[in-house]
Amino acid sequence: MNAFVTVDSNWGISYKDSPLATIPSEKKERLKALEGKIAVYGVKYLKELPGNLPIKGSVNMIFTDGVRTNVKTSSDVLSFDTIEELREALRDYPDDDIYIIDNEKLYREFLPETRVVHVTKIDYEYKADAYYENLDEHPDFRITADSEEQYCFDIVYSFYRYERTN
């Protein structure tokens, strides 16, 4: 299992259900990387996607957490009210094709099974109320790849790949 996450310098991921920052080129690259994969995310992430629509070319597994939604389901758009239902459905897919994105509850629930985490680290501390586990302090993860600093207007960020060591 994999994860995509954008964090600030304190591993914050969002505030009041909105991302701390948006980096258009990063979002575009993520969506491209998810083509043909299983994208697992919370229903609130839909408002961050182009046209507020599920990710094209991916199997979308949308976790509603019991929140009523108008998401139209199909063969490539599935919704789940509980983690248990979601877990059951994920058994039908190869772990390497599953990507957890943009939901603190999902990140926490699936971190024990996550083998690779693609992290975009922003060099700034925002006000946040949702966080990702600090992988720099996690004994089971190590950095296996990183990038030079990147810039988007006044945002300074870098990409990191963390892999589970055991």
Q: Which of 125, 60, 122, 58 is nearest to 86 (CA)?
A: 60
**Segment 60-77, tens digit of pLDDT:** 999 998 888 888 888 899
Structural domains of the chain, ranges and CATH numbers in brackets: 2-164 (3.40.430.10)
At residue 48, the pLDDT reads 87
- What is the distance between the alpha carbons of residues 80 and 113, in angstroms, rounded to a whole number? 19
- Mean pLDDT, range 45-59, rounded to an integer: 90
At residue 73, the pLDDT reads 83
**Segment 70-116, tens digit of pLDDT:** 888 888 999 999 999 999 999 999 999 999 998 999 999 999 999 99
Q: Which of 102, 121, 124 is nearest to 17 (CA)?
A: 102
In the chain, what is the straight-line distance between the N-terminal and C-terminal CA atoms, in Å?
Answer: 14
Report residue 41: phi and psi, to 5°: -155, 165
At residue 138, the pLDDT reads 96
Average pLDDT, the chain: 94
pTM of the predicted model as reported, rounded to 2 decimal places: 0.94
At residue 156, the pLDDT reads 96
